[in-house]
Amino acid sequence: MTLTPIQVDKVCTDLQTAVRVEKSSKKVRKIESDFYRSVLEALRTLRIEADGAVASDIEKYMKIKERIKQVETDFTVFFQLRFSKLMRLSLHEVDGEEWNQLTSEEKEFLEKQKQTIQDMIHRFTDTSERETTVPAVTTEEIELQPVTEQKKVEDNYVLLRITSDLPPISQPEGDYVLRNNDIVHLKEGFANMLISRKWAEKVQV
C-alpha cells in the first residue's frame, strides 16, 4: 500500500517529533500503535517514487533520495533511543502504565528480552548442580582432545561428547569448562555420571 504525499509528510513529521520526545524523556512515551508500519510504508512509497523518477527527472530523483536518507537517519536515531529504554525495562518488572506505552512490536521484543535475561540469571545463579553433582577432578582425570586424534585411551577412560554447557570444574591449577559439543576423555565414574544426567553421550570409536 502506497501513501499519498500528505500522508508521507505526516509520517516524516511524526518521526521527527518522536525523535525529539525520546531525546527529552528518560521514560518510554506512548506512540501510535501503527508507528513502525507507517514509517515502513512511507519509505516504500518514497522508493517507488524514486524508481519512477530516475529515468525522467534526475533532479526529482535526487531530492527523493535525500528525503529517504533523512527518514532512515531519523528512524535510526529514534530506534536507538527507544530500544535502549526497552532494554532497561527488560531488567525489572514492567508496570501497567509502562506496558500501555508500548506498541505490539515493542511488547513482543520486551517479552523475548525478559525471557533471555531470566534464562541468563538462572544459569549464573543456580548453584545446586554445581555444588552437589559435579565432583572435583584432578588434572590426570580429564584430558581434552580433538575428535580427529586417534590417541589410545586407557580402559578406565571413556570418550564422550558433551551435550550441555556445564559449570566450571575448579582445580588447583585452574578451572576446566566443558561446553556443548566438546569431545573429551573422562574417567569412567565421572563420565557415567554425566551420561546418566544426559549431559554427555558416549562416542563409539
3-class DSSP assignment, residue 51: helix
Phi, psi (degrees; rounded to nearest 5) at 186: -130, 150
pLDDT digits (tens, 9 = 90+) for 143-158: 444 444 444 434 577 7
The pTM score is 0.58
Residue with cell 516524516: 12
Q: Which pLDDT score is estimated for 176?
A: 52
Does 89 score more than 70 pLDDT?
Answer: yes
Strand partners, 183: 161
Greater confidence, 20 or 196?
20
Separation of CA 45 from chain center: 31
Phi, psi (degrees; rounded to nearest 5) at 174: 150, -175
Does 49 score more than 70 pLDDT?
Answer: yes
Give whichever of 92-101, 149-158, 179-188 has the largest mean pLDDT.
92-101
Does 167 score more than 60 pLDDT?
Answer: yes
From CA 134, how far away is CA 171, in angstroms rounded? 12
Go through the domains of the chain in sequence order and give each one's CATH number: 5-125 (1.20.58.1030), 130-202 (3.40.5)
